[in-house]
Structure 1
Amino acid sequence: MKQEGLKPNRVTFAVVLNACARIGALAHGKKVHREAIQAGLDKDLMVGYGKQSNSEEALKLSSQMKQQGFKFTGVTFVCILTACANLALFELGKRIHADIIKAELESNVFVGAALINMYAKGASLVHAREVFEKMPKGDVVSWTAMIAGYAMHGNRLECFKLFRQMQEQGLKPNEVTFVSILSICGHLGLVDEGYRYYNLMTQHYCLAPTKTHSVCMVDLLGRAGKFTEAVAFITQMPVTPDASVWMALLGACKIHGNVELAEISTMHILELEPQLPAAYVLLSNVYAVAGRWSRNLSVRKTMEERGVKKEAGCCWIEVNNTLHAFVVDDRSHPWSGEIYKELEQLSKQMKEAGYVPDMRFVLHDVEEQQQERTLSHHSEKLAIVFGLISTPPGTPIRIVKNLRMCGDCHSATKFISKICKRQIIARDAHRFHHFSDGLCSCQDYW
């Protein structure tokens, strides 16, 4: 490209740096990074890493850079913190924070925002707030990062309080700020508040709604079971609805078992993105919950014929600075024997305490005994049990799920938190759940 006189952009630099990370080409990675800085595109590289899900590669390259004495810039720290946040590497993130303090970059607004995001996604809002309080308060970026942190944890009071304080400081919320506000309204079923904030954004602050805001509103209305309003909102959107908007409606159809509208939503999604695995999976799940097994199998057969592969459910936990990942019925972990032995004992205690397996979340037509076994071996339960047997009694357990948390696992985790007297913090693809003494922070609405 350079020989032909073509100018690389941020995507080019991100791809090349990713390639350097994969093959361990540190020297070349340094050279490319320097060129990106000279081109004024170094800030955009963090976005590229995040969008391409290259968190592991970014951490690997940063570790090599540190060993070689490479001096980290603010942009480098933002990239590393984003990777830690994506992988929920809380302990590593804290060590990176110490390096940032030594480099005297803690007051950098972008580094500070990345720290807030890392701590929030690591389930420590206390640490996130401490970082926020030390930052200059004249920039919307830090306020938005802290509001987003409270929103993802469903902390309505602090989220709205901080939003009001931001306004009182004379700062204008931006589009990202309102995404977080609308998101928490959706998580808690606050329909009236959602409309109020949406109107505040469009009418008072004159911010044009993006498709992301529309997704938030459709999600809010759909989760609340207001399907007529949700469909009306889609038809009246100022921008053409894309697959993500219809996916929000499809997700709500799964929650409420609205088969007819789920079929309509899927039709629109596949017209726009015919290879989107999540659409097929959600529709098949809707059929499974409704007991329409022939249609469930038909959808899965269509996926196979079209070469569409679903994302495998995976759950991971960080113990002693090491990530431990689990999938359903996983037997590959070195502690597998201990995990299943403890799980069997715990299952008996849970049933004695009143837990009843929710067979609606078995998505295949199998015998009841097999259904219960499948439920008990979900990745969430395996990760939690490993946390129970590998960490000191009384310490919190933090797990991360790449998909939405299973409803049966949600119910089971409430029982586990009470039986084992542990706080269990679960981060799934939608939000955080804080389990304690048999209750969840989401109040069973998510």
Structure 2
Amino acid sequence: MAVVTTPATLERALPAMDDAEVLRIRNDFPVLNQTVNGQQLVYLDSGATSQNPLSVIEAEQEFYEQRNAAVHRGAHHLAVEATEAFEDARQTLADFVGAGYEETIWTSNATEGLNLISYALSNATLWAAQGRGDARLKDLALKPGDEIVVTEMEHHANLIPWQELAFRTGAVLRFIPIDDTGSLRLDQARDIVGPRTKVLAFTHASNVLGTINPVRELVALGRSAGALVVLDACQSAPHLALDVKALDVDFAVFSGHKMLAPTGIGVLYGKQEILDILPPFLTGGSMITTVTMERAEYLPAPQRFEAGTQRISQAVALAAAANYLTETGLDRIHRWEGELGQRMVTGLESIAGIRVLGPAAGKERIGLAAFDVEGIHAHDVGQFLDSRGIAVRVGHHCAQPLHRRLGLTATTRASAYLYNTTDDVDRFLDAVSGVRAYFRA
């Protein structure tokens, strides 16, 4: 009997990633083949912005060299080819996260995607009050006393848009707290998410703690309350296999620049039945059917939410990045980064005067570690590491409330990706072990 081979079985057949393979992968990333302050660069800041493989760089360059034109607007050859490349890229990203083609919307980044949802819900509230649009909009409208729930570990991009939505509608913003280990207090979540909850928004994986949140449990809470569920997938889509349909979230967002693609491109996923009735956020050209001097009618999704000239070359490059990750194997990448993350945390916990945030060694986390060095500001730690050729992130990582909850103003964060080796982590740990002595702390 013939054996049916699927992408999943192919990935299981592939060996686990190791340093030898990673060194081959690194050759695809030109920027990594350089020295910084006289030493080979160790790039551990992919949680902020990842680097680009040659295939992604070349995909964007090829677009400009061979098919640069405005999409959806011309009948000439270049316009047709540009439109095909743009929409093929949309299908690639839809497949990448298990979404439908019409459910996949281009944004400039995840922040814009979250603001799109927030402002579209504001417009839904206004339209419903004026009897405009689909009658089902009343189910999306917010009113004083309704509640929007986030978590205490959110990036500002998944907090401030909801603060503003609450301000515009009179809703109340609430949050699910964390415990001292960086895990959500699910016992309290069950009391916070309730009949008044209209939106539940949370991160899949924390950009500070490394915590991977229990998405299915949180979605179930949202469903029991009849709330819209919004997933920030910025730190998960680039690192692990994501299936938005299986997770049953209503919306999900992620950014290209964290998953090997250029800056200026992101993706918003939304369930078709919601996008069909949701009012647009930005208005203008390319998202309309009929316009008079008094009013306009809008196209269905995804074009309804893509006003103006789009990020065409960036979308093509993002599709190339998604293909690169798929061919490497996201499950393999996730396991390798998990090993690197554990190596970082175990090493950091063994250094005197270091406080590591998030799950302790041996507990599941993504491949990053944020830490505090007793008596030394994070910016000084970052500059010391840079002098050793090691690039890390310093500051509050756009998560001030989380740092405040943990009694800190800033931390140092090292974040690994598929192009990092165990030697990178060991060089990082060796450098960190010398920080306090250097500053005589």
Shorter-chain TM-score tier: under 0.3
Task: Tell me: higher relative CO, structure 1 or 2? Use CA pairs within 8 A at least 6 residues apart.
Answer: 2
Q: In proportion to residue count, which structure has more strand? A: 2
TM-score by length of 2: 0.27
Q: In proportion to residue count, which structure has more helix? A: 1
